[in-house]
Structure 1
Amino acid sequence: MIKTNKITLGLLFLALFYFSCEQEEITPTVTQDLTEEEQQKLISSPEIDQIILQSLHDTGDFLWMEQSDRLIWSALVQSDSVLTIGYSPSGISSPNSRIGIESVQSPEWQESAQNILGMINETIQRTGSPQLRIGNENALIHKDLPYLEIKVTSLEVLQNLRKMDEVRYFEPLSYEFDYSLLNQGQNARYFSDSGCSNDPVGSLPASDYVTISPNAKSSWNYPQMGITQAWQQSTGDNITIGLIDTGVSPNQNLLGSGFQSGESVSRSIEKFGTYQTGYWWWKKYDGPNDQCGHGTSMAGVIASPRNAVGNTVGVAYNSNLISVRGTSDVIVNSGNEKDGVAEALVLLGKRSDVKIISMSIGDVFSNSKVADAVRYAYNRGKLIFAAAGTSTSFTNWVGVIFPATMAETVAVTGIKESATYQRCNTCHSGSKVDFTVIMERAGSENKPLALANSGNDPSTVGGSSVATATASGIAALLWSKNPTWSRDQILNQLKTTADLYPNRNSQYGWGNLDAGAALGVY
């Protein structure tokens, strides 16, 4: 495979643990401070990883709260000992459905957080266990989401948390699963790539694009998804899409001063960075600039301008774009990445102009903090598209990944150019998939066009990543034509005009999106 196409593997969960484009700090552990009795109770990291792996095989997910307190405690003290605790008022019904609607600053919610802290402090004082100080306070209580974080090294604290009505969940913040196990322990880099290379192709086959005015390249799959036809009625005007990914490259002019160029006018691009680096006691924001390449390619698929320089054109080339660098690579597995993605969802959730959120990122099992943030954005009316997952053929047994597994997201995967439904070589599928996008050529296996990190020659991108970005762009075309529609109306129109409707497929959902049909072009 040529270097240019390395990014086509999208969400590559095998290589990222070892080869992310930006290295995380090594997390200190406190196992050396445990008593001999505690050391004997400790479940080792390899044992924990095997339990996670078995759960993925058996259920397709791994939930910390379904595990024993001893296992959670073991994972906790073998990472940075920071525990995330989700809370809600005691006795409240369906607390998750209220996240983003009710203020966690209300006395009722804050009392719940303080009750939890009171129990922890009492247990710590009684047992003499050490405690973390974050920002010169005993704990961090998030101002928008109903969770708090505190260092816990006492198993008794976890046992007491389990008994409290105010506790929705508790999870170790920074424990990282060994992703090489998904490939039977073999070298992950050998079989896949981190998704962080985004170089221009250089010489594209003439059959892989059509040149359109003023001199832009329209990807080969656009007519097959009804996108070219839909442009007759909508190009995404006045719709703002939020992209949570690895940021956008400052060296790609079409995502900078050239965002308004050619036939893409009267629109805007904004760039934020919510990803932080550093230890828990000292962190700093790392900025909005893409250091990976994945976010740049996704931004190009969604909203690259209809340009005059010979580069690729995005699906919704007149939409507004807000890029949020919430993660350093496409796997949301470190504590800093979970923080960054959760903060990005809150940022976009608060923006009244944002209609759509595109997330071509994720992890092989659930994280409750990020799930809370997804619900926060969802409960504020956002239409959230999430990638079903991409890895090598050796490991796509994993199925649909988080957060695409959530009911609040729309799961998208990629399929081959074929008369029958065949998932792409690296794509995941499963019962949680809602829609598919054609993104792999039948013979050459070439992928759709995207923006490279710099220059006017396109790159190519594949997997469920590009499928998700494409779906987000199609939704923008539809919403632009029907600006008064609700999220549910948009989603229903996409569903009822998709290829397989009214028969939902067990692996591919409603099938291929059809932008032209959704907009009533034909």
Structure 2
Amino acid sequence: MKKINGTIKTKGRFSWKESSDHFVWSAIFQGNHIASIGFGSSFDRNLDSNNKTIEAEILKVIEQYEGKTERILLSSDQYLNQIDVVIEKQETVIALRKMKNIRYLEPADYHYFENERKYGTTAKSSSSSSGCGFESTALNASDYTTVTPNAKAPWSFAKHDIINAWNYSTGAGVTIGVIDSGVSPEQTLLGSSFNNGLSSGRTISKNGVYVDSVWPWSTGYDGSADQCGHGTSMASAMAAPRNNLGQPVGVAYNANLVTYRAASNVVLDGYHEQNGVKIAFTELGNNTSVKIISMSMGHIFFCRKN
């Protein structure tokens, strides 16, 4: 933990690629022995005709150094040159990082905030600084203006000239993909009343690709419903209807939305959250109707999953 925090403090960033074999192995070991490997000349399997051969070579090296052939491969992405594997021995990490066809090898289930609570003194838990909350606050009249038919436009809309921009586009015909913590089923303006007031002829699709489990081998998504509040807030800011209910309007109030619950909160601290984001990005990238993808989540340091 000291090395990660020290590197971030001195360099402003931390990357597993710049860390020693022992340090990477140690983090893998602490993270349920799960590692993520990107391989080939491209992240896209379609651009690497020999991707299966390279993957087989990697797995053979792991089998050789681990001394076993079972329960090594956790997942193999069908679209990306990326696999998740189980590694227990430092010698395996050393051998893999010498392979020319591997682009990166990183811990896939290292929980920074959990380890910081155990061994450090500075960081909060991921949930305590997660951006979650369903609380509502009465708005000061000076912080918004009312626009037809009876919607609130926040002060920031005027500052960024959004209201005037509606003369050119309101988002009609555009589909936005949102990767976040989901959308609350209790928010009708992002449900049955998505077409309300001056918003019409559009759709909202809600998807869930997050596995709510501390065990990497677990499967089964827990649905699209937001249990944090952040995803609902972000979807509302993007495309809440220009409603007649006295509620805030979104920037693109006539745009379609395709939402994904990919994580429990905005801090991607663990295998299932990072994997959920990877799946959401892939599915949205394969959705030809989606023109914009928005994600307001991240991690304290750089991690790859492609």
TM-score range for the pair, normalised by the shorter chain length = over 0.9
Aligned 1:363-382 pairs, distance under 5 A: 363-369=299-305, 372=306
Partner in structure 2 of residue 99 of structure 1: 43
Q: Tell me, yes or no, if the aligned pair for 1:55 and 1:61 is still in contact at 8 Å.
A: yes
Which residue among 154, 177, 194 is the counterpart of 1:242?
A: 177
CA contact (8 A) 2:66 2:88 kept: no
Deviation at 1:71, TM superposition (A): 1.0
CA contact (8 A) 1:249 1:296 kept: yes
CA deviations on 1:75-132 (whole Å, 9 max, x unpaired) are 11122001111111xxxxxx3xx434x516x64111111111111112223xxxx676
1:19-168 equivalent positions in 2, closer than 5 A: 49-88=1-40, 95=41, 98-100=42-44, 103=46, 107-125=49-67, 133=71, 138-168=73-103
Instruction: State the shift of 1:287 in Å.
Output: 0.8
**Contact 1:131–1:153 (CA<8 Å) still a contact in 2?**
no
Moved beyond 4 Å, runs of 4+ = none
Contact 1:131–1:152 at 8 Å: present in 2 too? Answer: no
1:193: Cα distance to partner? Answer: 4.3
Q: 2:188 maps to which residue?
A: 253
Q: Secondary structure at the match of 2:193?
A: helix
Offset, 1:277: 2.1
User: Cα distance, 1:187 vs. partner?
Assistant: 7.2
Deviations 1:238-277 (A, max 9, x none): 0111110000000000000100111100111011111112
Of 282, 285, 299, which aligns to 1:349? Answer: 285
CA contact (8 A) 2:151 2:246 kept: yes
Call closer, same or farther: CA 1:293–1:131 in 2, change over 3 Å.
farther
CA offsets 1:392-436 (integer angstroms, 9 cap, x no match): xxxxxxxxxxxxxxxxxxxxxxxxxxxxxxxxxxxxxxxxxxxxx
Contact kept in structure 2, 1:82 and 1:151, CA below 8 Å:
yes
Matched residue, 1:277: 212
Matched, 1:208 2:139: no
What is the count of residue pairs matched by the alignment?
300
Letter in 2 for 1:351: N
- Whether the aligned pair in 1 keeps the contact of 2:130 and 2:267 (CA below 8 Å) is no
Does the aligned pair in 1 maintain the 2:149–2:244 contact within 8 Å?
yes
Deviations 1:457-479 (A, max 9, x none): xxxxxxxxxxxxxxxxxxxxxxx
The residue correspondences of 1:437-476 to structure 2 (distance < 5 A) are none
**So what's the TM-score if we normalise by structure 1?**
0.55
Per the TM alignment, residue 64 of structure 1 is displaced from its structure 2 partner at its CA by 0.9
Distance in 1 (alpha carbons) for counterparts of 2:270 and 2:43: 23
Q: Is the 8 A contact 2:284 2:290 kept in 1?
A: yes
Is 1:359 matched up with 2:295? Answer: yes
Q: CA RMSD in A?
A: 1.9
Partner of 2:263: 327
Structure 2: any 5+ residue segments left out of the alignment?
none
Deviation of residue 155 (structure 1)?
1.0
Query: TM-score, with normalisation over the residues of structure 2?
Result: 0.92
Could you tell me how far 1:188 is from its partner in structure 2? 3.4
Structure 1's unaligned 5+ residue stretches are 1-48, 89-94, 373-522
Q: Does the CA contact (< 8 Å) of 1:131 and 1:151 recur in 2?
A: no
Asked if structure 1 preserves the Cα contact closer than 8 Å seen for 2:224 and 2:260, the reply is yes
Calculate percent identity across the aligned residue pairs: 39
In the alignment, is the contact (CA less than 8 A) between 2:36 and 2:83 conserved in 1? yes
Distance 1:187 1:277, change over 3 A: closer
